[in-house]
Chain A
Amino acid sequence: QVQLQESGPGLVRPSETLSLTCSVSGGFLTSAGYYWGWIRQPPGKGLEWIGHIYYSESTDYNPSLGGRVTISVDTSKNQFSLKLTSVTATDTAVYFCAGCSSWTPPYYFDHWGQGALVTVSS
């Protein structure tokens, strides 16, 4: 059973970089899933797809985030990470990491972390 767990600072100052890591257990990141991604949810609001990584190096990001996003994989640690630069208060949200175990379309997120609240404030 693949399990995901987010970790990282819960408070980030405006203009700084938000960094989160997702640790994958119960399977190897390179074989347990095809897509590994990040989704966020501002308090009381809906879900927003941030981006994903596949083939351990190919990435797609949400253009609405203005090129501030980087997702990367560390296969030696069985982890993948999110970096979001130049954060503002509007980046305050619960950040979920998620995985897709399907290797062919349709793609979906069937494994989810519990979520990590990140607050942007000085």
Chain B
Amino acid sequence: DIQMTQSPSSLSASVGDRVTITCRASQSVDKYVNWYQQKPGKAPRLLMYGAVSLHTGVPARFSGSGSGTDFTLTISTLQPEDFATYYCQQSYRIPRTFGQGTRLDIK
């Protein structure tokens, strides 16, 4: 299985900050990484797909980069609604695997 490792596991930040979350794959997954946001008690929400493509309706302050084994999700200017848990997922191989999550909370 391809292991997806996110860092950090948790992060405290303030509204207006720029935040970057990293996801590393245990082997190359080309560009096939998706990012999801999950709030407590809710289903995950797709933010980015194919590493760099912004899903419809997602604010432009979210961006993604990377290919191969190293990927990042960046939030350029944190808004109050962005405090949540973020997951990366690879869709390159079966089984699809998720990172362990990065919890982003308010400093």
Using a CB–CB cutoff of 8 Å, the interface residues on chain A facing chain B are: 39, 46-49, 52, 60-64, 96, 98, 102, 105-110, 112-115
CB <8 Å contact, B101 and A46: yes
CB <8 Å contact, B96 and A49: yes
Choose one: B46, B87, B95; the contact of A110 (CB below 8 Å).
B46
Q: List 19 A-B contacts (CB under 8 A).
A: A46-B99, A46-B100, A47-B38, A47-B98, A47-B101, A60-B94, A62-B95, A63-B1, A64-B1, A105-B32, A105-B50, A106-B50, A106-B91, A108-B34, A108-B91, A109-B46, A110-B55, A114-B43, A115-B43
Q: Closest Cβ of chain B: how far from A111's Cβ, in Å?
A: 9
Q: How large is the interface on B (under 10, 10 to 19, 20 to 34, 35 or more residues)?
A: 20 to 34
Query: Looking across the interface, which residue of chain B has its beta carbon closest to that of A106?
Result: B50
Distance in angstroms between the alpha carbons of A107 and B51 in the assembled complex: 11
Inter-chain contacts of A46 with B (CB < 8 A): 87, 98-101
CB <8 Å contact, B91 and A107: yes
> B25-60 vs A: 1/0 string, CB under 8 Å?
000000110101010001111100111010100000
Distance in angstroms between the alpha carbons of A48 and B96 in the assembled complex: 8
Inter-chain contacts of B96 with A (CB < 8 A): 49, 52
Distance in angstroms between the alpha carbons of A118 and B8 in the assembled complex: 30
